[in-house]
Amino acid sequence: RLVGSEMCIRDSYETITLENLAKTLGLSVRQTERFLKKYYGKTFQQKKQEARMSAAKIYLTDKRLSITQIAEKLNYSTSQHFTQAFRQHYGITANEYRRQLQDPVD
């Protein structure tokens, strides 16, 4: 169930609901909430946001995509909202992260 839940959230973070995840795992909604809290220490929404931010990091490796395009791909209303969410999650802006990819610190 642990691997199944991780894959489900990672692969369909844009559309998955708690109810869908519960059904996929063969659990009730409440059991699924407890499962996520026990094994990840996070809520369903926190796991979805984590998956979204992981996708952001992958998109940021593609220099052809602007921050605005990435924000759109991740369904943020504005690039500023995306940048704020990225900074809150990782402690640096998306642009700073992208620069670090180009100029890794030894």
pLDDT tens column, 50-85: 999 999 999 999 999 999 999 999 999 999 999 999
The mean per-residue pLDDT over the stretch 30-53 comes to: 94
Per-residue pLDDT band for 9 (boundaries 50, 70, 90) equals: confident
Contact predicate 9/51, CB 8 Å: yes
Contact predicate 97/90, CB 8 Å: yes
Those residues with Cβ within 8 angstroms of residue 103's Cβ, 6 or more apart along the chain or in another chain: none
pLDDT at position 12 is: 81
With CA atoms as reference, report the closest residue to 86 among 45, 42, 54, 40.
54
Percentage with pLDDT > 70 across the chain: 92
Q: pTM for this structure? A: 0.80
Residue bearing the bigger pLDDT, 95 or 14: 95
